[in-house]
Structure 1
Amino acid sequence: MWPNIWRDDMDQITIETGMQDISSGTCVQFVPHSHEANFLDVEPRNSCWSFLGQPGGSQTISSQGPGCMWSGVAVHEFMHTLGFVHERSRSDRDRYVTIVWDNIMQEHIHNFRKHATSNLNSPYDYDSVMHYGSLIQALPSLKLPKPDPYISSGQRDGPSDLDLHKINVLHNCGR
């Protein structure tokens, strides 16, 4: 899959770098869209978001705003399309983080709900590009991590080694 990109050259390079960060460590390949029924459509809509998984047909990834144009943010959104939830939404997350529900802005509550995930027999990844820090979408929303609150968490530099491993496992890459 290859996104339909309606952006300037620097934005396109940023998005393509995110795709390359995934492709270089997994069997997932992004190919230019021609006639495929299922494809990604990266558009400058409101904020940074994507739907979970590939439902079929055109799938929009929004990357509007200065905070969206980082290759690690592109990786984050592409991982959503590949079927990954936020690390803080894993079924086993309560063993690793504490959610402070009273501090979460109402419009972001849905981003903190647990999903019924298999976790791919992988350990919790504080360094995942799918993890947020403690001050995202709330003040503070997470007490991180258990048992050592001084371990850093969340980043938008690119996929962690464990992120790439999980993509390979989920998509039967055999790497």
Structure 2
Amino acid sequence: MTLPEKSRSTAGIVTTVGAGVVILMALTVLGTLAITRDDKPEAVASPATASAWDLEQAANDTEPEPAATTAAPGPTPAASDLTLTPKITRKQCFGSAGCHVDIKVEVGYAGPTLSEDDTWEVTYQVSGAESGPIVGTFELTGTKYDQDEISLSTRTSSTKISVKVTDIAGIPG
């Protein structure tokens, strides 16, 4: 027995609408689950039903993160361990008007061996400048340091220039 043409058309429409309603309901349920799901990883029920991706995610979630290791810092230099000496790199005097002087601070160290992994910021004060003390800093790592040149003016050509440590601070590595 065959259905009349009109009945076949109605049956197709009903089937299409019914499939659409089922799909719409499935999307609504999936959307609701996606919104209400928290960010905590779900436990994989069984390796037999889990995909390779699920197994990899579960393995990544259960591996403990490595503990942060910080090496024990080496010895801390003391101000008395450092000897700072001004090295005159250029000097131009103007009779009784004083001199224009460029210096670099040379560093001597007589303390315990410093670690190459630790860096220290050394603050110092230069005395003898006509305008007053000059404060500067340099970084000390192991036995290495980098020092910029300092320019100053003195009152007379016989003015003594001296440098002393005022502070030493560790720089986090």
TM-score, normalised with respect to structure 1: 0.19
Specify which structure has the higher proportion of strand.
2
Considering only CA atoms, is the larger Rg found in Structure 1 or Structure 2? 2
TM-score by length of 2: 0.19
